[in-house]
Amino acid sequence: MSLEGFFRRIPKAELHLHLEGAVSASTFAELAAQNGVALPDGKPTEDLYSYGNLLDFLKVYDLVCASVRSADDFSRITFEALERCALGGARYVELFFSPHAHLAHGVTYSTMLEGILDGFRRARERYGLVAKLIPAHAKPLGAEGGERFLDMVLAERPAEIIGIGFDYDERPNPPGMFLGIVERAKAAGLNVTNHAGEDGPADYVRDTVDLLGLRRVDHGYHVVDDPALMERCRELDVVFTCCPSTTLVTTVWRDLASPDHAIRRMMDAGLNVTIHTDDPPMFGTTLDREYALIAKNFGLSPARLKEVALAGLAASWLDPETKRTWM
C-alpha cells in the first residue's frame, strides 16, 4: 500500500473542523455569485485563501459565511465537507459552525440546522459517516452575546448537537469571560470545548482547564510556554485538538520540521494530542494530509500514527458504548 493509502486508511475521528472553513474555493465562488456577495477587488476565490495571521483569516472566513444563505446551501457545504472527511479516512466527525455569522445576514438558526442535518443525512447514506454538531460562540460577541447564543442553542436542540465551542479572535477575550455560559451549558448536559493558546497565552489554556473546568482545548499550543501547566494537563489527560497546517498561518510556530514546533513538543511531553484540519480547503489541506505532515516532520512510525488516530476516537464525545464498538 502506498504511504498516502496508509494515511487514508487509518480510521480517524475529525474533532476540530469548522463547517464554513471547509468550503472549497469553487463552491465559495458559486455561492457568492448566487447570493450576490461581492468579493474584494473581484479577486478569484483561490487568491483569497491566503493570509498572514488569524485575523486576516477570519476576515475571509466571514466572507465565506456571508455567502451561505439557504437550507440548500447549508446542506451542500455540509455534504461536501463530510465527503472530503470520508475520502480522507474519517469515520466520525464533530463539526463546528458559526451561527452568529449567518444570523447577521438574516439566516435563521432553524434554516442552518435544517440544511446541516440534511447534509449529515446524505453523508451518512452515501459514506456511512456519522457526524455531530457543535455550535460555536464567537468570543468577540462577549458574555452577553454568549448568553443569547446559549439560549438559542438550548431552545432548538436536535440530538446531533452534542456540545458548544468558543472561537474567533482569542487574545482580547480571555476564557474567564465565559464562565457563566460554560456552567449553564454543562448543567444542560452539553459538552464544552474552547479555542485557547492558538495566538493567546499559556494562561488562557490554564483558565480553560482550571477556571472553566474543561478537559478539551482546541489548539492549545502555548501550553508549551509553561512546563508546570504542561505537567498538569498531562496528569488530567486534557485533550488538545491540534491542526498542523493552521499553525503555519495563525501561530508563531511556522516550521513543522523544527524540533521547537509546539505540537511536536506537546507530543514529546506525553500530552493527549489529537490531529485535525480546522479549515481544510482554506488552509490547503485534508485530514490524511495532516497525518502525513506529522509523520514526515516529526518522524512518527505507522504504529504511533495509529495511536494518534485511536486517541482521536477516544477523545470524541461519542457515548462510551458506541466508542467501545469503534475502537
Binding site for ligand HPA (CB under 6 A): 18, 21, 54, 61, 167-168, 195, 198, 246, 250, 278-279
Q: Which one of 39-47, 77-85, 273-281, 292-300 is the stretch in contact with Zn ion (CB under 5 A)?
A: 273-281
By beta-carbon proximity to ligand HPA, the closer residue of 8 and 24 is 24
- Which residue's C-alpha cell is 448568553? 147
Interface residue with Zn ion among 278, 282, 295, 316 (CB under 5 A) is 278
Does the footprint of Zn ion cover residue 288 (CB under 5 A)?
no
How many CA within 13 A on the CB side of residue 307? 11
Q: Which one of 74-82, 107-115, 277-285, 311-319 is the stretch in contact with Zn ion (CB under 5 A)?
A: 277-285
User: Quick one: cell of 206?
Assistant: 490554564
| CB 288, min distance to ligand HPA, A | 20
The option from Zn ion, ligand HPA, none interacting with 14 (CB < 5 to 8 A, set by class) reads: none
| CB 168, min distance to ligand HPA, A | 5
By beta-carbon proximity to ligand HPA, the closer residue of 234 and 289 is 289
Residue nearest to ligand HPA (CB): 167
Q: Please state, in angstroms and rounded to a whole number, the distance separating the CA atoms of residues 27 and 156.
A: 28
Cα 62 from chain centre: 16
Does the footprint of Zn ion cover residue 14 (CB under 5 A)?
no
Q: Which one of 57-65, 105-113, 125-133, 270-278 is the stretch in contact with Zn ion (CB under 5 A)?
A: 270-278
Establish whether 198 is a catalytic residue. yes
The option from Zn ion, ligand HPA, none interacting with 168 (CB < 5 to 8 A, set by class) reads: ligand HPA
Q: Please state, in angstroms and rounded to a whole number, the distance separating the CA atoms of residues 110 and 91.
A: 27
Helix (H, G, I), strand (E, B) or coil at 211: helix
Q: What is the CA radius of gyration of the chain?
A: 18
Select which of 20, 170, 198, 290 is catalytic: 198
Does the footprint of Zn ion cover residue 290 (CB under 5 A)?
no
* Cα–Cα–Cα angle for 98, 99, 103, rounded to 5 degrees: 135
Q: Of the candidates 302, 278, 327, 323, which has an alpha carbon nearest to the alpha carbon of residue 85? A: 278
- Which residue's C-alpha cell is 509523520? 295
Element of type H or E holding 197: none
Residue nearest to Zn ion (CB): 278
The option from ligand HPA, Zn ion, none interacting with 61 (CB < 5 to 8 A, set by class) reads: ligand HPA
Q: Please state, in angstroms and rounded to a whole number, the distance separating the CA atoms of residues 114 and 117.
A: 5
Neighbour-count burial of 128, counting CB atoms closer than 10 A to its CB (0-12 exposed, 13-18 middle, 19+ buried) = exposed
Element of type H or E holding 258: none
H-type alpha helices, 188-226: 202-206
The option from ligand HPA, Zn ion, none interacting with 21 (CB < 5 to 8 A, set by class) reads: ligand HPA
Q: Which residues contact 185 (CB under 8 A, 6 or more apart)?
A: 150, 153, 163, 164, 192
The option from ligand HPA, Zn ion, none interacting with 123 (CB < 5 to 8 A, set by class) reads: none
By beta-carbon proximity to Zn ion, the closer residue of 116 and 138 is 138
Does the footprint of Zn ion cover residue 199 (CB under 5 A)?
no
By beta-carbon proximity to ligand HPA, the closer residue of 18 and 261 is 18
Residues classed as catalytic: 198
Query: Which residues are near Zn ion by CB under 5 A?
Result: 278
